Amino acid sequence: MKRLDNIEIVKANYENTKTLVSKYYIAHKQDKFLAKNFTHESLLKDINYLVDNGLGFVAIQNNISVGYLLGYKIKTLFFNESGIYSPDFAVYYDNDYVLYRLFEEYYREMKNESITHHAITLLTPSQDDFLVQLGYGLRVMDGVRFPHKNSPTDSLVSMIKADICDYNILLNLYKEHIQYMSSSPIFLEETNPELELTDILNDNDKIVFKILYMLEVVGFSVIDKLHAPGGKYFKDSETLGIKGTHILSNFQNKQIGSRYIELLDNYCIENGYNRLAVDFESMNYLALKFWSKTFHISAKTYIKYIGK
Ligand SMILES: CC(C)(COP(=O)(O)OP(=O)(O)OC[C@H]1O[C@@H](n2cnc3c(N)ncnc32)[C@H](O)[C@@H]1OP(=O)(O)O)[C@@H](O)C(=O)NCCC(=O)NCCS
């Protein structure tokens, strides 16, 4: 079908993505929340990798590249089904219509390859309305925080590093957490709490903090020193990642979690970390309220079911 808009959608290659990568870099390089690893060179490398290994299209108008959409093919993305994941840096467009045309071609190709889901991350503030019009729903939010030294208070909250000897103390808490995350409305896949907790406590790349209220353990938090959650360009070697935090339900909403973040800030400063990163399911109301209070929401991931 001949279009009147003179936009042509073609397969992405090194050449037709190059100027758009520069535009993306210029548009975001002042973003104070991006980490040091956000460089033009690294961006170009990522896009070239996607050109070679992922699915990617470029919109051309009057011989000029005006938008790109690329993504990684993932065997099980959500709901145990195949999908494509487009990180924030893999999407650039001059206007909504360009993105619409890119999506149109993208879905056609996904259908051909029987890929059922598309997940896309946009930096905030982003144009959620347009994605909602196209049938996307918000699924995951990423948060970033720059720790600062907090002075000691007379708070009754403290945190202590746990080890494998704390397994029994932590197990019920961990079970409550898994139960919470796998129930309505979140429905994350239920995992084996015993096995998972043992693995975490034995993993040298992770730290588990017991959170105490008046010397009673009422919560825990799992910290990942190497693999922080969230987008690639929001973390670096000085980032601590928060992988899961839970306060026993009887103790929630009493500022224990907030005080824990202050203590964690102090831990970061004392141990040379200058950034904390977290992600959470947007439908987790408690997490949304809690993390948005103390973290900058850096990116949002949306998902659309294309169909079989
Ligand atoms: C998220 C969680 C760790 C927060 O810890 P907490 O000790 O309850 O949090 P705080 O009491 O410090 O509250 C901090 C903010 O969270 C929000 N919040 C906490 N509980 C809330 C509730 N029941 N309803 C509405 N907002 C709530 C509020 O915005 C509150 O700020 P405010 O008191 O200034 O209004 C805790 O609620 C929890 O364990 N939830 C279940 C597991 C989970 O979702 N973990 C996070 C995902 S990994």
Tokens of 62: 């009057």
Is residue 253 in contact with ligand 1, taking CB distance under 6 Å?
yes
| pLDDT in the model for residue 243 | 94
The candidate with the shortest Cα–Cα distance to 16, out of 53, 42, 48, is 48
Q: Which one-letter DSSP state was computed for residue 234?
A: G
292 Cα nearest atom in ligand 1? 29
Structure tokens at 298: 């850096």
- If you take atom 19 of ligand 1, which residue's CA is the nearest one? 253
- Nearest residue to 107 (alpha-carbon basis) of 282, 307, 279: 307
CA of 41 to the centre of ligand 1 (A): 40
Q: Tell me what pLDDT residue 1 has.
A: 57
Average pLDDT per 10 consecutive residues for the chain, totaling 308 residues? 81 98 95 93 98 97 96 88 94 93 96 94 85 94 95 87 97 97 92 96 97 96 94 93 96 96 96 96 97 96 90
Within 39-124, residue ranges assigned H as helices are 40-53, 96-112
The H-or-E segment that residue 259 falls in is helix 256-270
Helix, coil or strand: residue 205: coil
CA separation for the pair 292, 283 (Å, rounded) = 13
Taking each helix axis as running N to C, give the angle between helix 193-202 and helix 167-182, from 0 to 180 degrees, rounded to the nearest 10. 120
In degrees, rounded to 5, the angle at the alpha carbon of residue 229 between the alpha carbons of residues 153 and 107 is 145
Residue 286 main-chain phi, psi, to 5 deg? -65, -45
Question: What pLDDT, on a 0 to 100 scale, did the predictor assign at position 2?
Answer: 59
For atom 20 of ligand 1, the residue with the nearest CA is: 253
Q: Is the CB of 148 within 6 Å of ligand 1? A: no
- Measured by CA distance, the residue closest to atom 10 of ligand 1 is 255
For residue 285, how many other CB atoms are within 10 A of its CB? 11
Q: What is the DSSP string of 34-53?
A: S-TT--HHHHHHHHHHHHHH
What whole-number distance in Å separates Cα of residue 121 and Cα of residue 282?
13
| Residue 88 and residue 302 in contact, taking contact as beta carbons nearer than 8 Å | no
Q: 28 with 234: CB under 8 angstroms?
A: no
Specify the DSSP class assigned to residue 215.
T
Whole-number Å distance, alpha carbon 90 to ligand 1 midpoint, is 33
Closest residue by Cα to residue 226 from 245, 202, 207: 207
Contact 275, 178 (CB under 8 A): no
pLDDT of residue 308: 76
Give yes or no for residue 258 CB within 6 A of ligand 1. yes
Name 240's bridge partners: 276
290 lines ligand 1 (CB under 6 A): yes
Q: Where in the chain is the domain with CATH 3.40.630.30?
A: 7-123, 157-296
R_g (Cα) of the chain, nearest Å: 21
SS3 (DSSP) at 149 = coil
Pick the CATH number of 157-296 from 3.40.50.1000, 3.30.1490.20, 3.40.630.30, 3.30.70.2660: 3.40.630.30
Pick the CATH number of 7-123 from 3.30.2130.10, 1.10.10.60, 3.40.190.10, 3.40.630.30: 3.40.630.30
Which SS3 state, helix, strand or coil, does residue 157 take?
A: strand
